[in-house]
Amino acid sequence: MKQSAAERPDPTTQRKAAIARGAALEHTGKVTVAPIPSFDLDRTIFKTLEGKAARFVVSTRVGKEAHWNPADAQAVQAEYAAARAAHPLPAVSPELMQFLVSECDFDVEHADGSFLDHLYFCFEYTVQHYPQQSPLVMFLHSILGTGTNTFAMTADKIPALRALMSPEDWKQVEAFPSVLRLLYAGPLRQELRDNVHRADAIDSISFHRVIDNAPITLSGRDLWTALNYQLIHLVDFLPVANWATHQNDTSFILFRDLYDLLEAAGKREAMVGYTPAASPRKLQGEPQGVGAWLTTLIPVSVSERMAAKSVARFSERIGHSLDYRISWAGSTGG
């Protein structure tokens, strides 16, 4: 059934827990994880992924669902209901909602639910845990493209969308898909990490918009805001359980690195609690076949390089440049 952007879906229990507690959470012992029956990667945002090996790895990582212990699910539901009562969701303007309904196509799955489930999760989380910034950015963060070249709208509709948004919101929305790809590509993270001692010395960063390769420039302050939005976004891609085993999940790798980077730079503004996995590397409540088990043995460094190469290929296919340039205060170089 085709979903409408005007209809807010009920979040999964994992999403409800994250929203209620303002954290990335591991739920080992509270869930049983099983493959999704008849899972079809071509119905997800990963449908454009090529190569049998890459498709198998991604399918094993995202093609599964959590079945919660009833008591734990009820506890999460109670916390979530209290959070929603304490933090009402702001309304989206009727004009913008009409644009989303009539001009955009969100009819693609996001492994655990639809693409809209993901957008609404990011929106709700930001309302409660990043209140100093606009949650609308996270409701629209992937409208100009995902990391796998799926697009909810075409570039010719950009003027109409931009007219319905504030300049500040638009600036972050148009940049979001590009910043995500730059993070996966690697060099941006490395440059920022090498310069955490002068995190406030970024004058600007220039890069290219994913959907049409148009040039974009953000101030240093806006870049750190964008990275906080990215951290919230990654919360929705983390394994529900057995973190010690799934350390090489690419989204989990990026989440950990970005979290550490923001902490080191003193720039984590969004409330995102995180405690590294302390349990041993032993699956609990998540039976696996040999193939799925083998994917968990891929070294983190190899998994990270694979993700970077994948992003580069996706950008190359659509003529999107991953080049960027940071202008540092007091520096004439890049």
pLDDT value, residue 150:
87
54 domain-assigned:
yes
Categorize the per-residue pLDDT at 330 as very low, low, confident or very high, splitting at 50, 70 and 90: confident
90 domain-assigned:
yes
Output the CA angle 186-189-190, nearest 5 degrees: 85
Write a three-state SS string for 203-242.
EEEEEECCCCCCEEEEEHHHHHHHHHHHHHHHHCCCCCCC
7 domain-assigned:
no
The whole-chain average pLDDT of the chain stands at 88
135 domain-assigned:
yes
Average confidence (pLDDT) over 81-102? 93
Average confidence (pLDDT) over 194-219? 97
pLDDT tens readout for residues 147-175: 889 899 999 999 999 999 999 999 999 99
pLDDT value, residue 184:
96
Whether 308 has a pLDDT exceeding 70, the answer reads yes
pLDDT value, residue 2:
53
How crowded is residue 101: how many other Cβ atoms within 10 Å of its Cβ? 13
Categorize the per-residue pLDDT at 334 as very low, low, confident or very high, splitting at 50, 70 and 90: very low
pLDDT value, residue 65:
81
Whether 111 has a pLDDT exceeding 50, the answer reads no
Whether 108 has a pLDDT exceeding 60, the answer reads no
pLDDT tens readout for residues 19-58: 999 999 999 999 988 777 776 666 666 666 666 656 666 6
Whether 211 has a pLDDT exceeding 60, the answer reads yes
What's the structural domain count of the chain?
1
8 domain-assigned:
no
- How far apart CA 83 and CA 78 sit, in angstroms, is 9
Range(s) of the domain holding residue 141: 13-328
